[in-house]
Chains A and B, each alone.
Chain A
Amino acid sequence: MITLDQVGKQFTSRRGTHHALSDVSLTIEEGSFVCLLGPSGCGKSTLLNLIAGLDQADTGRVMLDGKVIDGPGPERSVMFQDSALFPWLTARKNVDFGLELAGITDKHERAARTETFLKKVHLWRFRDAYVHELSGGMRQRVALARALAPDPRVLLMDEPFAALDAQTRDVLHVELTEIWRATKKTVVFVTHNVREAVRLGDRVVLMATRPGRVKLDETISLARPRVTESEVAYYVGRIMKELRTEVEKVMREEIDDAWQPAPGVVSGGTTPGVGGGI
């Protein structure tokens, strides 16, 4: 169980202090799939970095099973928007290196696990390919295998499919759902895509900007796999209503104070990505 207790985080730059997170409290149950959703600058990635241990909270506590997280650990794997695979290693060696860093010294065990997980993401055939020889979707599959192979309890995903085309993303949604159902890992998935959040999550936590805080906590009680668009659309519409005011707020700050949204510019029905069409 991951617990965030009144967490605050600020960043100071030349342009002043930015309250990335303010007084965020959240509990993430063991084995659940939680999507953190929000417009850019709402602190969702910051929140993920705190759980990953890459960053420290200024106020409040971030805990895993009641123990304060004070750094990265092998029980928490992270996947990034860019695969972050190492270009000097092949697909197989990338996964193997992850296992080695996680402290598995037995070579045979590493080889066996690498094979299992590369097969799980259907890339065993490409085991000896270097990173530049793989497509964007294949890289994220290898990254997923690398993240899963050390058998972490928590999988932290920071917009892992945001750079992929829609078809590849849909396929990976189905595969991720299946892997999650089979392994029952706790997944925290950051996205700015409402439809993606609704398709994947047990729970969608919508975050607001300036300061970053939780605005809506919605449980998605749809059967899996979620392929029926009309059901997904119901939740997308509900969340979109809340999100719209946030997106408008960001737009006003980023563009000009006098900016007014044209009717239908920020809508949930046709544009699944927040700000995707802007």
Chain B
Amino acid sequence: MATTTELEISPPVGDHRRRPPSRLRQKLGRFDVKASPYIYISPFFILFAITGLFPLLYTAYVSVSKWNLLTGRHGSAGFANYVAVLHQPFFWKAMRNTVSIFLLSSVPQIILALVIAAVLNANLRAKTFWRMGVLVPYVVAPVAVGLIFGQMFADQSGMVNALLVKFGMNPIAWHAQVLPAHIAIATMVNYRWLGYNTLVVLAAMQAIPNDVFEAAIIDGASRVRQFFSVTIPMIRPTLLFVIITSTIGGLQIFDEPTMFDQQNGALTAGGADGQFVTVTMYLYQLGWGSQNNLGRSAAVAWLLFLVILIISLINYGLTQRIASEGGPARGRKRRKKVSA
């Protein structure tokens, strides 16, 4: 904005018109070219600094303090909070559960999303209907999903156990055993997020130019071969996005396991033996339960942050490898033709 006003003022009218631009003008012009893009994107970063960076750093500050939620800060704690948390078996239990639920939800979810997207990408009748159909569960509120699945997976009166018994199997103690509890919770997550991921992947698939497939067909590639050698490498950036976002979401899981436990009327209990307590639930219990230990809670938040960072980087590396395996890593020659 400032530059435009300057422009209007600096060139005087009349015979000076052909004079080379003034130094100031040149400087401003250069400044405009260099700085404007940053100014245009700055609102995001300013907002990010306020809502993202500041809380993150402040959480770090809280995590090295003795901090009671109600009575405030009581001096520095050094790394005592981290040490205390890392020594609690319950923290490791929560970490185990979180990773287990994350794997049980994200892995099948992304594989299924790929398959369903591939099917939806084929020539179907009433395309829009099917595509909208997969997104419907995403519209359901997580708490509602929790209530519905909570009833389905009830230990004694649940529908799932009734079906198992009908097929001659033993009912499963969904709330008492570790793995069944994780599977039940992962089912809720998958139910809700599968459609969303499918649509993202589908959009990427539709952006693949048709001639690539045509070339592959001329080369005699089967449908399956096309999927692995053309589709997957071509949607790699999108796949990366889907995997990273589901990693972050999966490791921060809170709503579903919270809704899964209604015992004692206490929120965020996660089972009588911590069968399905997750890291975020543990964080909430520490900081907002009756311990009110915000310092330790913040330490857990930072540990979780680091874990998410590490797992995301591993995922990034894996995705790079998996997606390029069909390409340059092996069969370089054929790849050339395909990608031509």
User: Do these two chains really belong together in a complex?
Assistant: no
